[in-house]
């Protein structure tokens, strides 16, 4: 059986530092995480991705709580986060259903959700081009997973000021777009 590893790194996907105590706990529970992934999904290939996600999530949580190193409880907390992520992944995998054979596929109507997704993406890009620097920063931070409180702290202001200012600007952009759209 091949031995899997995961990419133990010092920062998460957006550059926030990952706590050393969380990284150490991840190394200690790695084999158990692989075993659980194999048992639940019948394949432990996704164990590394789930571990990276769980390590970043637990590190962010503990930093927000300003929690000191929890020692042996860290392994339990991290294993709990990993197990929850694994359960969510298993739920997604199990949602896939067979709709029949190839002759049944021909009778299905075309799904145009991809077109709605493309339109939504283009609308988002148009909106971002018209946002102020501050609102663009807020949007980027929200997209990266920061909550309103963290954004307010980074910008040195209150949650209400950041959130209300952002949504006010979005409303103004919507109104301008509606006013400039010719009626049909």
The residues, ordered by sequence, that sit 6+ positions from 82 with a Cβ below 8 Å of its Cβ are 29, 33, 36, 50, 51, 54
pLDDT of amino acid 127: 79
The residue whose two tokens read 């049909």 is 184
pLDDT of amino acid 13: 75
pLDDT tens digits for range 38-59: 888 888 788 888 999 999 999 8
pLDDT tens digits for range 115-142: 888 888 887 777 778 888 898 888 888 8
CATH number of 114-180: 1.10.10
Query: In b/e form, how buried is each residue of 2-27, taking b as 16+ CB within 10 angstroms?
Result: eebebeeeeebeeeeebbebbbebbe
pLDDT of amino acid 108: 59
- The residue ranges of every structural domain in the chain are 20-94, 114-180
Q: Point out the residues of the chain with pLDDT beneath 70.
A: 1-7, 70-72, 96-111, 181-184
Predicted structure pTM score? 0.49
Q: Which of 86, 94, 28 is closest to 57 using CA atoms?
A: 86
The residues, ordered by sequence, that sit 6+ positions from 26 with a Cβ below 8 Å of its Cβ are 6, 8, 51, 54, 55, 78
């Amino acid at each position: 059986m091949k031995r899997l590893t995961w990419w133990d790194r010092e920062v998460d996907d957006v550059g926030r530092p990952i706590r050393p105590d969380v990284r150490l706990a991840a190394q200690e529970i790695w084999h158990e995480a692989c075993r659980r992934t194999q048992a639940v999904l019948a394949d432990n290939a996704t164990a590394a991705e789930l571990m990276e996600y769980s390590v970043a999530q637990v590190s962010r949580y503990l930093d927000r709580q300003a929690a000191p190193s929890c020692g042996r409880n860290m392994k339990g907390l991290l294993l709990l986060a990993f197990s929850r992520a694994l359960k969510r992944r298993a739920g997604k995998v199990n949602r896939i259903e067979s709709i029949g054979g190839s002759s049944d596929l021909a009778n299905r109507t075309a799904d145009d959700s991809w077109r709605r997704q493309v339109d939504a993406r283009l609308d988002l890009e148009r909106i971002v081009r018209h946002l102020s620097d501050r609102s663009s920063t807020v949007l980027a931070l929200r997209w990266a997973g920061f909550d309103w409180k963290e954004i307010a702290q980074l910008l040195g202001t209150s949650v209400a000021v950041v959130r209300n200012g952002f949504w006010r600007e979005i409303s103004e952009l919507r109104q301008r777009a509606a006013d400039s759209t010719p009626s049909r």
